[in-house]
A and B are shown apart, each in its own frame.
Chain A
Amino acid sequence: MSVTTTTSTMAPPAAKPVSKADFVSGQDVRWCPGCGDYAILAQVQKTMADLQFPRENVVFISGIGCSSRFPYYMNTYGFHSIHGRAPTLATGLKIARPELSVWVVTGDGDGLSIGGNHLVHTIRRNVDLKILLFNNQIYGLTKGQYSPTSEQGKKTKSTPFGTIDYPISPLCVALGVEGTFVARTTDTDLKHMAMVLERAARHKGTAFVEIYQNCVIFNDGAFKGITEKSVRPEHALFLEHGRPMLFGKDGTRGIRLDGVHPEVVQTAGGKTDGLCVHDERAAEPTLAYMLSRMRNPDYPVPFGVFRAIERPTYDGMLLDQENQATAKLGAGDLQKLLKGPETWEVK
Chain B
Amino acid sequence: MSNVTQTHSGKKLHKLEKVAVRFAGDSGDGMQLVGGKFTETTAICGNDFATLPDFPAEIRAPTGSLPGVSGFQIHFSSHDIYTPGDAPDVLIAMNPAALKVNLKDLPENGIIVLNQDAFSDTNLKKAGYTSNPLEDGSLKRFRVYPVPVGRLNAEALSKLGLPKKDAERCKNFFALGLIYWMFDRPLDSTIGWIKDKFKKVPGIADANEAALKAGYFYGETTELIPEHYEIPQARVAPGLYRKISGNEAAALGFVAAAQLAGKQLFYGSYPITPASDILHELAIHKNLGVRTFQAEDEIAAIGATIGAAFGGALALTGTSGPGVALKSEAIGLAVMTELPLVIVNVQRGGPSTGLPTKTEQADLLQAMYGRNGECPMIIVAPATPGECFHMAIEAARLAVKYMGPVMFLSDGFLANSAEPWQVPRVEDLPRIDVHHPTVEGHFQPYLRNPETLARPWALPGTPGLEHRIGGLEKEDGSGNVSYDAENHQHMIHTRAAKVAGAAKDIPPAKVAGPDHGELLLVGWGGTYGALRAAAEEARAKGKSVAHLHLRHLNPFPANLGDVLTNYKRVLVAELNCGQLLSMIRAKYLIDAKGLNKVKGKPFQVVEVLRGIEEAMR
Chain A interface (Cβ < 8 Å from any Cβ of B): 1-3, 25, 27, 54-57, 59, 61, 64, 71-72, 74-82, 85, 87-97, 99-100, 117-118, 121, 318, 321-322, 325-326, 328-332, 334-335, 337-340, 342-347
Residues of B contacting A342 in the complex (Cβ-Cβ under 8 angstroms): 40, 43-44, 189, 242-243
**Do A340 and B304 have beta carbons less than 8 Å apart?**
no
Residues of A contacting B288 in the complex (Cβ-Cβ under 8 angstroms): 331-332, 334, 337
Instruction: Please classify how large the interface on chain B is, using the bins under 10, 10 to 19, 20 to 34, 35 or more.
Output: 35 or more
How far in angstroms is the closest Cβ of chain A from B54?
A: 24
Can you list 9 A-B pairs with a CB-CB distance of less than 8 A? A27-B468, A87-B300, A91-B295, A92-B266, A100-B461, A118-B300, A334-B288, A337-B285, A342-B40
Asked whether B439 is an interface residue with its Cβ less than 8 Å from the other chain, the reply is no
**Do A93 and B311 have beta carbons less than 8 Å apart?**
yes
- Can you list, as one digit per residue, whether each of B292-310 has a CB less than 8 Å from chain A (1) or not (0)? 0101110111111111111
Asked whether B586 is an interface residue with its Cβ less than 8 Å from the other chain, the reply is no
The prevalent SS among residues of B at the interface is mixed
Nearest A residue to B40, CB-CB: A342
**Do B481 and A56 have beta carbons less than 8 Å apart?**
no
**Do A337 and B471 have beta carbons less than 8 Å apart?**
no
Cα distance A78–B44 when bound, in Å? 54
Given A97-B312, A344-B241, A347-B238, are A338 and B424 also a contact pair (CB < 8 Å)? yes
Residues of A contacting B112 in the complex (Cβ-Cβ under 8 angstroms): none
Cα distance A71–B337 when bound, in Å? 15
How far in angstroms is the closest Cβ of chain A from B481?
A: 7
Cα distance A97–B460 when bound, in Å? 9
Asked whether B191 is an interface residue with its Cβ less than 8 Å from the other chain, the reply is no
How far in angstroms is the closest Cβ of chain B from A85?
A: 4
Residues of B contacting A99 in the complex (Cβ-Cβ under 8 angstroms): 461
**Do A88 and B189 have beta carbons less than 8 Å apart?**
no
Residues of B contacting A318 in the complex (Cβ-Cβ under 8 angstroms): 291
**Do B424 and A96 have beta carbons less than 8 Å apart?**
no
- Name the contact of B287 in the complex, choosing from A76, A325, A339 (C-beta under 8 A): A325
Residues of A contacting B332 in the complex (Cβ-Cβ under 8 angstroms): 82
Total A-B pairs in contact (CB under 8 Å)? Answer: 213
Cα distance A121–B315 when bound, in Å? 21
**Do A1 and B289 have beta carbons less than 8 Å apart?**
yes
**Do A1 and B262 have beta carbons less than 8 Å apart?**
yes
How far in angstroms is the closest Cβ of chain B from A84?
A: 8
How far in angstroms is the closest Cβ of chain B from A4?
A: 10
Residues of B contacting A76 in the complex (Cβ-Cβ under 8 angstroms): 466
**Do A322 and B291 have beta carbons less than 8 Å apart?**
yes
Residues of A contacting B461 in the complex (Cβ-Cβ under 8 angstroms): 56-57, 97, 99-100
Cα distance A92–B464 when bound, in Å? 23
Cα distance A80–B467 when bound, in Å? 11
How far in angstroms is the closest Cβ of chain B from A259?
A: 36
Residues of B contacting A97 in the complex (Cβ-Cβ under 8 angstroms): 311-312, 460-461
8 residue pairs, one from A and one from B, having the closest CB atoms? A88-B303, A80-B470, A92-B304, A92-B307, A332-B288, A89-B307, A78-B468, A93-B307
Nearest B residue to A27, CB-CB: B480
Most chain A C-beta atoms within 10 Å of own C-beta, residue among B243, B266, B287, B308: B287
